[in-house]
Protein backbone atom coordinates (compact mmCIF):
# COMPACT_ATOMS: atom_id res chain seq x y z
CA UNK A 1 0.00 0.00 0.00
CA UNK A 2 2.74 2.46 0.95
CA UNK A 3 4.71 1.67 -2.22
CA UNK A 4 1.54 2.24 -4.27
CA UNK A 5 0.97 5.67 -2.67
CA UNK A 6 4.56 6.77 -3.28
CA UNK A 7 4.60 5.50 -6.90
CA UNK A 8 1.25 7.20 -7.56
CA UNK A 9 2.66 10.46 -6.18
CA UNK A 10 5.76 10.29 -8.39
CA UNK A 11 3.75 9.46 -11.52
CA UNK A 12 1.60 12.61 -10.99
CA UNK A 13 4.36 14.92 -9.76
CA UNK A 14 7.10 14.66 -12.35
CA UNK A 15 8.88 17.78 -11.07
CA UNK A 16 9.82 15.94 -7.88
CA UNK A 17 10.87 12.77 -9.63
CA UNK A 18 12.85 14.45 -12.41
CA UNK A 19 14.74 16.75 -10.05
CA UNK A 20 15.51 14.15 -7.40
CA UNK A 21 16.32 10.49 -7.50
CA UNK A 22 13.85 8.11 -5.87
CA UNK A 23 16.85 6.96 -3.85
CA UNK A 24 17.78 10.29 -2.24
CA UNK A 25 16.35 11.74 0.97
CA UNK A 26 13.28 13.94 0.70
CA UNK A 27 11.42 15.66 3.51
CA UNK A 28 7.92 14.27 3.95
CA UNK A 29 4.97 15.29 6.06
CA UNK A 30 1.89 13.72 7.59
CA UNK A 31 -1.07 15.15 9.45
CA UNK A 32 -2.68 12.82 11.99
CA UNK A 33 -6.06 13.54 13.54
CA UNK A 34 -8.19 11.84 16.15
CA UNK A 35 -8.23 8.04 16.17
CA UNK A 36 -4.86 8.23 14.34
CA UNK A 37 -6.57 9.01 11.02
CA UNK A 38 -4.15 10.32 8.42
CA UNK A 39 -5.63 13.58 7.16
CA UNK A 40 -2.88 14.36 4.66
CA UNK A 41 0.61 13.35 3.57
CA UNK A 42 3.10 15.01 1.24
CA UNK A 43 6.51 14.25 -0.25
CA UNK A 44 8.76 17.26 -0.71
CA UNK A 45 12.31 17.87 -1.82
CA UNK A 46 15.58 17.25 0.03
CA UNK A 47 15.23 20.66 1.71
CA UNK A 48 11.50 21.30 2.21
CA UNK A 49 8.01 19.89 2.33
CA UNK A 50 4.69 21.69 2.39
CA UNK A 51 1.44 20.86 4.14
CA UNK A 52 -1.60 20.92 1.82
CA UNK A 53 -3.88 23.22 3.83
CA UNK A 54 -6.86 22.82 1.48
CA UNK A 55 -6.74 19.04 1.71
CA UNK A 56 -6.41 19.17 5.51
CA UNK A 57 -9.31 21.62 5.82
CA UNK A 58 -11.48 19.43 3.56
CA UNK A 59 -10.84 16.39 5.82
CA UNK A 60 -11.55 18.43 8.97
CA UNK A 61 -14.93 19.39 7.52
CA UNK A 62 -15.61 15.87 6.21
CA UNK A 63 -14.94 14.30 9.63
CA UNK A 64 -16.85 17.10 11.42
CA UNK A 65 -13.96 17.97 13.74
CA UNK A 66 -14.70 20.19 16.73
CA UNK A 67 -12.36 22.92 17.95
CA UNK A 68 -10.98 20.45 20.53
CA UNK A 69 -10.38 17.87 17.77
CA UNK A 70 -8.47 20.46 15.75
CA UNK A 71 -6.30 21.33 18.76
CA UNK A 72 -5.28 17.65 18.94
CA UNK A 73 -4.16 17.31 15.32
CA UNK A 74 -0.46 16.46 14.97
CA UNK A 75 1.51 18.03 12.13
CA UNK A 76 4.58 15.85 11.59
CA UNK A 77 7.42 16.13 9.15
CA UNK A 78 10.78 14.49 8.59
CA UNK A 79 14.07 16.38 8.73
CA UNK A 80 17.47 15.03 7.67
CA UNK A 81 19.30 12.97 10.29
CA UNK A 82 20.49 14.92 13.31
CA UNK A 83 18.49 18.11 12.65
CA UNK A 84 15.63 18.37 15.14
CA UNK A 85 15.49 22.16 15.45
CA UNK A 86 12.77 24.24 13.84
CA UNK A 87 13.77 26.18 10.75
CA UNK A 88 12.49 29.68 10.02
CA UNK A 89 10.13 28.10 7.47
CA UNK A 90 8.81 25.75 10.18
CA UNK A 91 8.09 28.74 12.44
CA UNK A 92 6.15 30.54 9.70
CA UNK A 93 4.28 27.34 8.86
CA UNK A 94 3.15 26.57 12.41
CA UNK A 95 1.83 30.11 12.92
CA UNK A 96 0.03 30.09 9.57
CA UNK A 97 -1.57 26.69 10.21
CA UNK A 98 -2.77 27.73 13.69
CA UNK A 99 -4.28 30.96 12.39
CA UNK A 100 -5.81 29.27 9.34
CA UNK A 101 -7.39 26.52 11.44
CA UNK A 102 -8.54 28.97 14.10
CA UNK A 103 -7.02 26.98 16.94
CA UNK A 104 -5.44 28.35 20.10
CA UNK A 105 -2.83 25.59 20.29
CA UNK A 106 -1.21 23.61 17.47
CA UNK A 107 1.06 20.56 17.76
CA UNK A 108 4.05 20.43 15.42
CA UNK A 109 6.49 17.49 15.41
CA UNK A 110 9.84 17.01 13.70
CA UNK A 111 11.19 13.48 13.23
CA UNK A 112 14.61 12.27 12.17
CA UNK A 113 15.24 8.60 11.53
CA UNK A 114 18.40 7.05 12.96
CA UNK A 115 19.20 5.36 9.65
CA UNK A 116 17.81 4.94 6.15
CA UNK A 117 17.59 1.16 6.60
CA UNK A 118 13.96 -0.02 6.60
CA UNK A 119 14.73 -2.64 9.24
CA UNK A 120 15.53 0.21 11.65
CA UNK A 121 12.52 2.36 12.50
CA UNK A 122 14.08 4.04 15.53
CA UNK A 123 13.61 7.76 15.44
CA UNK A 124 14.19 10.92 17.42
CA UNK A 125 11.58 13.62 17.66
CA UNK A 126 11.09 17.12 18.88
CA UNK A 127 7.66 18.50 19.59
CA UNK A 128 6.51 22.09 19.67
CA UNK A 129 3.31 23.91 20.39
CA UNK A 130 2.24 27.25 19.02
CA UNK A 131 0.23 29.25 21.55
CA UNK A 132 -1.85 31.79 19.64
CA UNK A 133 -2.74 34.05 22.60
CA UNK A 134 0.93 34.58 23.40
CA UNK A 135 2.13 34.36 19.78
CA UNK A 136 4.99 32.08 20.76
CA UNK A 137 6.33 28.66 19.97
CA UNK A 138 7.33 26.53 22.95
CA UNK A 139 8.69 23.00 23.31
CA UNK A 140 5.86 20.64 24.15
CA UNK A 141 6.92 19.45 27.56
CA UNK A 142 6.35 16.08 29.08
CA UNK A 143 5.66 16.52 32.78
CA UNK A 144 5.90 12.81 33.64
CA UNK A 145 9.60 11.96 34.31
CA UNK A 146 8.88 8.24 33.73
CA UNK A 147 8.04 8.82 30.06
CA UNK A 148 10.93 9.74 27.71
CA UNK A 149 10.42 13.09 25.96
CA UNK A 150 10.49 11.39 22.55
CA UNK A 151 7.42 9.37 23.53
CA UNK A 152 5.11 12.32 24.28
CA UNK A 153 3.43 11.70 20.93
CA UNK A 154 3.86 8.09 19.89
CA UNK A 155 3.73 7.70 16.13
CA UNK A 156 1.46 4.88 15.00
CA UNK A 157 3.72 2.18 13.50
CA UNK A 158 2.10 2.18 10.07
CA UNK A 159 2.35 5.98 9.81
CA UNK A 160 5.98 5.85 10.90
CA UNK A 161 6.81 3.35 8.16
CA UNK A 162 4.94 5.40 5.59
CA UNK A 163 6.90 8.54 6.53
CA UNK A 164 10.16 6.63 6.31
CA UNK A 165 9.30 5.21 2.90
CA UNK A 166 8.24 8.63 1.61
CA UNK A 167 11.50 10.19 2.83
CA UNK A 168 13.93 7.48 1.74
CA UNK A 169 12.13 5.77 -1.15
CA UNK A 170 13.78 2.47 -2.00
CA UNK A 171 17.06 3.42 -0.31
CA UNK A 172 16.99 0.69 2.35
CA UNK A 173 15.84 -2.07 0.03
CA UNK A 174 18.18 -4.56 -1.58
pLDDT grade, residue 153 (50/70/90)?
Answer: low
pLDDT in tens, 22-36: 457 889 999 999 888
Per-residue pLDDT, averaged over 113-127, amounts to 76
Query: Per-residue b/e over 41-78, b at no fewer than 16 CB within 10 Å?
Result: bbbbeeeebebeeeebeebbeeeebeeeebbebbbbbb
User: Any bridge partners for residue 41, and if so which?
Assistant: 30
Question: How far is 7 from 23, CA to CA, in rounded Å?
Answer: 13
pLDDT > 90? residue 138: no
Amino acid sequence: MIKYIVNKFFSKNKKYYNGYSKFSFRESSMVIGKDNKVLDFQIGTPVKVEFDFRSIWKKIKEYKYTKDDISNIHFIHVHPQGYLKMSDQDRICIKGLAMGLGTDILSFNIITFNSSDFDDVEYCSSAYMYILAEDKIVPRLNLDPNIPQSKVFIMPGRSLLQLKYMSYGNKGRS
